[in-house]
Amino acid sequence: MAAAMPLALLVLLLLGPGGWCLAEPPRDSLREELVITPLPSGDVAATFQFRTRWDSELQREGVSHYRLFPKALGQLISKYSLRELHLSFTQGFWRTRYWGPPFLQAPSGAELWVWFQDTVTDVDKSWKELSNVLSGIFCASLNFIDSTNTVTPTASFKPLGLANDTDHYFLRYAVLPREVVCTENLTPWKKLLPCSSKAGLSVLLKADRLFHTSYHSQAVHIRPVCRNARCTSISWELRQTLSVVFDAFITGQGKKALRSVSQTGPSSGCSPEPSRSPAPWLQRAESMWTSPPTTSPAFVSPGQRDIRGAPTPDHYISGRHPRHSEDLCHL
């Protein structure tokens, strides 16, 4: 009996919150990125990307507990057997002639296209139900998507994530060009972030400034990716992107907006445990906001964080695009 006591205590220590987290590798990760680009016209473009990756096969595993990956979207993947989901809300038009190519292309209004798994028997029914649910999540008029504005592209769309085939029967695409994008769409979009708008780069997303711009586009991209080099298992990747164009050198609006944000910005990244010292990457971001670059793009990333909020060894802060950031332009 006495010999069993130390063994029982050891088991409790291993199964405790701290011991368990240290013994098991993280299954969630978050990476935040901000790219500020001076445009040929003299305007300034800012692109945010929040990439959440979850090492879980949602459609095979019975998942009931969520940490970084939003539960609302995780349940959609399982319930409707989704392979990929791409949703964007855009206000204004990207002026390619004056601004050059965009980071991510999106039409004005609301755009939704989805790849379903080949196990779905009634794609049209699942498509309609999914658009209704997304309408409620993002406070949008996606419930108006029906057979009159839905198409099944046969050549122009291919899966952006892991896919064994490209049977376009399981693809649906729709656009609502008259959809008005406003703060009611931005608020639920920010709530999908692990720290909402309370920490990290998301604190720079002030609605009263973002919607007084020449161009505003926010998107959600979900796709499966390989977890390892051999691709023996998959992970789910959620990318939330937001791009805006400030008339910084014409009306001075850009500098004013960015300066007001820097005065109220936090001192730590998106982490469950608050930091007591200012984060260098955030100071760099605030400096970029108040003094936008004039020649080459500037890149800021607080680094990747696991489910406990511990940052990766290197926090990337650079004055140009790092090599690993190329996939921001190419989902």
Give a yes or no: residue 8 inside a domain.
Answer: no
pLDDT given at position 10? 34
Residue 40: predicted pLDDT: 82
- Given this model, what pLDDT does residue 57 score? 67
pLDDT reported for residue 113: 95
CB-side neighbour CA atoms (13 Å) of 195: 27
**DSSP states of 38-54:** E-TTS-EEEEEEEEEEE
Does residue 14 fall inside a structural domain?
A: no
DSSP state of 196: T
Residue 255, CB-side half-sphere exposure with 13 Å CA sphere: 11
In the chain, the number of structural domains is: 1
In-domain check, residue 212? yes
Predicted local confidence at residue 214, as pLDDT: 86
CB of 301 within 8 A of CB of 329?
A: no
Convert 140-163 to b/e letters by CB count within 10 Å (16 or more is b): bebebbeeeebeeeeeebebbbbe
User: Which residue intervals of 166-252 are DSSP H helices?
Assistant: 183-191, 207-210
Do the Cβ atoms of 271 and 202 come closer than 8 Å? no
pLDDT at 253: 54
DSSP letter for each residue of 271-296: -SS--SS--HHHHHHHHHHHS--SSS
pLDDT for residue 241: 95
Separation CA 278–CA 25 (nearest Å): 28
Q: Is 293 part of any domain? A: yes
Supply the DSSP symbol for 195: T
Kindly state whether residue 3 falls inside one of the protein's structural domains.
no
Name the token pair of 273.
Answer: 């445990």
Domain of residue 279 covers: 26-328
- At residue 239, the pLDDT reads 96
Query: Both ends of the chain: CA-CA distance in Å?
Result: 59
Q: Is position 19 within any domain? A: no
Q: Is 172 inside any structural domain? A: yes
pTM: 0.76
Tens of pLDDT along 189-248?
Answer: 999 988 777 777 878 887 777 888 889 999 999 999 988 888 888 889 999 999 999 876
**Contact call for residues 197 and 190 (beta carbons, < 8 A):** yes
Q: Which residue's entry shows tokens 């399982």? A: 78
Q: What pLDDT score was predicted for residue 211?
A: 81
Q: Which residues of the chain have pLDDT under 50?
A: 4-24, 251, 261-262, 264, 266-267, 272-278, 304-331
Are 258 and 249 contacting, i.e. CB atoms less than 8 angstroms apart? no
Instruction: Please write the tens of the pLDDT for every residue from 63-75.
Output: 666 778 888 898 8
